[in-house]
Amino acid sequence: MTQPPGPPYQPSFGPPPTPYSAPPSAYASPPYAYVPPPPPTAAWQPERVDQVTGTGFGLVHLQVAPLTSGAAIGSLVAGIGAILVSIAVLCFGLSGAEEGWGGWIAGAFVLLSVMACAGAVSLGVFARRQIARPAAPGRVRFTGRGLSTAGIACGITGAALSLVALGLGLALQLS
């Protein structure tokens, strides 16, 4: 009642399966054979090697590549946002001066610009402290001092421009 085996199933896509073969000779080496470590790459450079006392093993401390501080990037983004909002303050203050609503809308945007300035300055100061902190071995080092300085400068500039634009808009509205 049994049927003779037919040809093996062949899928209609892809190459045919390869038959099972013996493992490569590298796997056939005796257990606990010495395997040399992989060559160091740019991402994995050893910083120092400490020997574990009483054993033949060592502890390798790897160099950690420096990263750009996220707080510095956030400071610059908030500072640029403060400058962009100050442009909106100028536009609303000048366009609404004749109708009488320019000062109100410009004042609301000044508040937004000052809040963006506060965020830019606080993130910039935090980033500068984070960057200035010495990195322990095996810890992340941060970069981006220029970004944090630019963020602080843009935030202060944006708040100052928005206050000047608000004053100009109110002067036009009251005259």
- Residues 86-108: b if buried by 16+ CB within 10 A, e if exposed: bebbbbbbbebbeeeebbebbbe
- Give yes or no for a contact between 102 and 169, defined as CB atoms under 8 angstroms apart: yes
How many Cα atoms are found within 13 Å in the side-chain-facing hemisphere of 25? 0
Cα separation, 169 vs 110, in Å, equals 12
For residue 9, the 8-state DSSP code is P
Q: For the segment 132-160, what is each residue's pLDDT rounded down to a tens digit?
A: 998 776 678 899 999 999 999 999 999 99
List helix spans (H) across 14-144. Answer: 70-95, 102-132
Cα separation, 26 vs 18, in Å, equals 20
Q: For the segment 47-78, what is each residue's pLDDT rounded down to a tens digit?
A: 788 888 888 888 887 777 889 999 999 999 99
Please state, in angstroms and as integers, the Cα–Cα distance from residue 119 to each residue in 7, 75, 108, 125, 168, following that order: 72, 7, 17, 10, 25
Q: Which two tokens stand for residue 32?
A: 């606990």
**Taking residues 99-114, what's their average pLDDT?**
88
pLDDT tier, 111 (very low <50, low <70, confident <90, very high otherwise): very high
Q: Tell me how crowded residue 116 is: count the other CB atoms within 10 A of its CB.
A: 25
Cα separation, 133 vs 142, in Å, equals 9
